[in-house]
């Protein structure tokens, strides 16, 4: 509901009323956001959807389906992080983020960690891949951005580089509890967080 209030606020800037909101129909008459996430909350005007059109616009806070080819103002999503609810290995997740967004998320500060904690709540796995990998040769953890890990949020017993030659380990964040970082074998299949920075 908080997101809906933000949508309404954004649409009222400059008196603009008719705006695309990035929601469209997929197969089987299901609605999903342009990010690929399913629409869990729908705010249709009482006569909508009328089943003829595949894209959604907002008028005075209510949603209407409309032809996707219509020209309207639109609202951009400024979320810089997105949880991808596919279960992939760390390497597969890295490839996915680089092909579809920018990269797996690198957490350089407490502010970014707060953003991670906010988006990870929507994950469907107990842990979610971060762009954190163990660089055994140098006995350290690095972000995929190439930066060393200066800000830490490790769960107790994690984050050490001992025994790293036994298996290639990568960093994930717990999706529940206190959402601390944990070290897991890269072959585990988890949801992951892509960065749009």
pLDDT recorded at residue 197: 67
Q: What is the CATH number of the domain that holds 50?
A: 3.10.100.10
What is each CA distance from 193 to 75, 97, 137, 153, 172, in whole angstroms? 23, 8, 26, 16, 10
pLDDT above 70 for 58: yes
The residue range of the domain holding 65 is 2-74
**How far is residue 24's CA from residue 36's CA, in Å, rounded to a whole number?**
10
- From residue 42, alpha-carbon distances to 49, 62, 101, 111 in Å are 10, 9, 26, 30
- pLDDT at residue 170 above 80? yes
The predicted pLDDT at position 1 comes to 38
- Pairing mode, strands 55-59 and 62-66: antiparallel
The pLDDT of residue 171 is above 60: yes
- 85 vs 4, more confident: 85
How is the chain split among helix, strand and coil, in percent rounded to 5? 20, 35, 45
pLDDT band at residue 75 under the 50/70/90 scheme: low
User: Is residue 164 domain-shared with residue 119, that is, in the same domain?
Assistant: yes
- Do 20 and 64 lie in a common domain? yes
Answer whether 0.75 is exceeded by the pTM: no
Quick one: pLDDT at residue 193? 93
Q: Tokens 């979320």 map to which residue?
A: 79
Q: How many domains does the chain have?
A: 2
Calpha distance 12→59 (Å, rounded)? 10
β-sheet bridge partners, residue 23: 33
How do residues 115-152 score in pLDDT, each as one tens digit? 898 889 889 999 999 999 987 777 788 899 888 888 88
Q: Are residues 187 and 149 in the same domain?
A: yes
What is the pLDDT at residue 2? Answer: 41
pLDDT exceeds 60 at position 6:
no
For residue 20, what is the enclosing H or E element? strand 19-25
Of 192 and 48, the one with more pLDDT: 192
Radius of gyration of the chain from Cα atoms? 20
The fraction of the chain above a pLDDT of 90, given in percent, is 27
Lowest mean per-residue pLDDT among 6-15, 66-75, 91-100: 6-15
Boundary (domain end) residue, out of 74, 100, 132? 74
Structure tokens at 85: 């609810």
């Amino acid at each position: 509901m908080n997101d809906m209030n933000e949508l309404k606020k954004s649409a009222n800037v400059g008196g603009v009323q008719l705006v695309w909101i990035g929601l469209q129909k997929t197969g089987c008459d299901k609605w999903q956001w342009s990010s690929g996430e399913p629409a869990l909350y729908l705010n249709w005007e009482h006569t909508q959807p009328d089943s003829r059109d595949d894209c959604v616009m907002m008028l005075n806070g209510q949603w209407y389906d409309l032809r996707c080819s219509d020209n309207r103002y639109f609202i951009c999503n400024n979320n810089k992080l997105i949880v991808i609810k596919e279960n992939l290995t760390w390497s597969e997740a890295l490839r996915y983020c680089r092909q579809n967004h920018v990269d797996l998320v690198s957490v350089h500060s407490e502010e970014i960690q707060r953003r991670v904690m906010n988006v990870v709540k929507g994950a469907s796995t107990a842990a979610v891949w971060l762009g954190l990998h163990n660089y055994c040769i140098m006995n350290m953890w690095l972000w995929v951005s190439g930066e060393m890990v200066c800000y830490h949020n490790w769960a107790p017993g994690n984050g050490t580089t001992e025994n790293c030659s036994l298996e290639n380990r990568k960093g994930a964040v717990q999706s529940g509890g206190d959402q601390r970082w944990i070290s897991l074998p890269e072959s585990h299949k988890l949801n992951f967080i892509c960065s749009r920075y």
